[in-house]
Amino acid sequence: MPTTLAALSPLDGRYANKVDALRTTLSEAGFMHHRVKVEIAWLQALSLAGFAEIKPFSPAATDLLNHLVEQFSETDAERIKAIEAVTNHDVKAVEYWLKESIGLPLPNNFQHLPARPHQIAPEITAELKAAAEFIHFACTSEDINNTSHGMMIKTARDQIMLPTLDKLIARLTEIAHDNASVSMLSRTHGQTASPTTLGKEMANVVARLKRARQTIAQVEILAKMNGAVGNYNAHLSAYPQHDWENFSRKVIEQRLGLSYNPYTIQIEPHDYMAEMFDAFARANTILLDLNRDIWAYISVGYFKQKTKAGEIGSSTMPHKVNPIDFENSEGNLGLANALLKHLSEKLPISRWQRDLTDSTVLRNIGVAFGYTLLAYDSCLRGLNKLETNHTRLEEDLNQAWEVLAEPVQTVMRRYGIENPYEQLKELTRGKGISKEALHVFVSGLAIPPEAKESLLRLTPANYVGIAAQLARQV
């Protein structure tokens, strides 16, 4: 068997252990498992619909059906795959597997497959065999697939992706609070600018990510179970008096935990998926921005990185501690967003009532989420290595007294001194200014003594407005 070293995708090779959490839900085996869950939920609902041809299942039969869902294994997935090799249809393979699982033999063209051993009580087998043709009753494949995808995305979002994003937000919040009062020189356009605090800059990212997270969490996950073109054609041909719309709604909302979409073609239009993937991409873009900023802060020495025993930064320069976690995160966020963008742009488009271009694309949801999860993990590891370099921050501030030209000219404006901006521009633009020279200038201003004293008390380190307050509040 090939090892991870032979994997075509790094998600299944080099980074396999970092995205394992997604495999149970978003792998092909996970997709099969969810299809089984949907098929059985539909069958159990039909048994309670009051039709003469299918009776409510006994507790023993119900337990057996539930067991097929709860104990679904990789061996079961392999059996479905073996059946699919003959059918060349993945959903039909699940239907045949379910019938086989309740004691029915496979059709004659499956004779090459070894029989599966069964230990089902004869009375349960008889009961379920009587209901066997209600498996996949009136369904098109997309009734099973779209509901499965909905549950897969919901589970991945709620149990894996958002909790990991929450860890990032929590760590950034901690950094913001710890550094709320740590003054830092801003660098608008890469040039010295009005000071802020290190904590406030982290708080800015926290606020952005919280909004992005809320958008992700609020996307309503839609599903449909209404037949080949969305009109219950087949359903009504068998039971014309039954309220199929209400029946479908209850299965989707009460049994599967999704939201019912009454207006569809053969496929659920995937608009909610586009919303979801766009929302993740926006969060990812915020983190990409953070990665680049922290990379630059490390470069100028505002942050140091904790070293790890045995780790090598460069094969030739022993002194180096490279910001590899943030670089890794940035690269994988780019890959993730490229996939998420394609998913959101492609999936809502289907020729007429159905084409199959969405099918192969949907199989890459796990890849898009995988690169996203990998990027989150890398960023979090990088954040946990950061140490604030107070000395370097103070050095930069002490060499940037020109940033106080802003408050000086603003106070001059208040007291009606002509051309204050122009005067400070002439004094400081492109050449900086010393503390002493700035104090000489301020001392000569015709402004009230208290205003002059206030300006003379300013330093680049304490000219930070309410940055510390904002950082603590986030």
Annotation says 314 is catalytic:
yes
Q: The tokens 């041909």 sit on which residue?
A: 237
Cα 364-221-335 angle, rounded to 5 deg: 30
- Which residues 6+ apart lie within 8 Å of 310 measured at CB? none
Is 101 annotated in the active site?
no
Which listed residue (112, 189, 315, 319) is catalytic?
A: 189
Query: Taking the mean position of all CA atoms in its chain, how far away is CA 2?
Result: 30
Pairing of strands 259-260, 222-223: parallel
Ordered DSSP codes for 137-175: TT--HHHHHHHHHHHHHHHHIIIIIHHHHHHHHHHHHHH
- DSSP of 419-468: SHHHHHHHHHTTT---HHHHHHHHHTS-S-HHHHHHHHH--TTT--TTHH
Pairwise CA distance, residues 182 & 179, whole Å: 5
In whole angstroms, give the CA distance from residue 104 to residue 451: 92
Query: ∠ CA 118-100-98 to the nearest 5 degrees?
Result: 120
Q: Name the active-site residue from 9, 237, 299, 314.
A: 314
Instruction: Look up residue 114 and give its DSSP letter.
Output: P
Quick one: which of 419, 424, 377 has its CA closest to 165?
Answer: 377
296-303, long-range: CB < 8 A, 24+ apart: 296/187, 298/323, 298/326, 299/323, 300/392, 300/396, 301/389, 301/392, 302/184, 302/198, 302/388, 302/389, 302/392, 302/393, 302/396, 303/386, 303/387, 303/388, 303/389
CA dist., res. 191 & res. 212, Å (int)? 29
Are the CB atoms for 421 and 409 separated by under 8 Å? yes
Q: Which two tokens stand for residue 75?
A: 């061996």
- Give which of 97, 102, 109 is closest to 73, Cα–Cα: 97
- Tell me the chain's radius of gyration from C-alpha atoms: 31
Active site residues: 189, 314
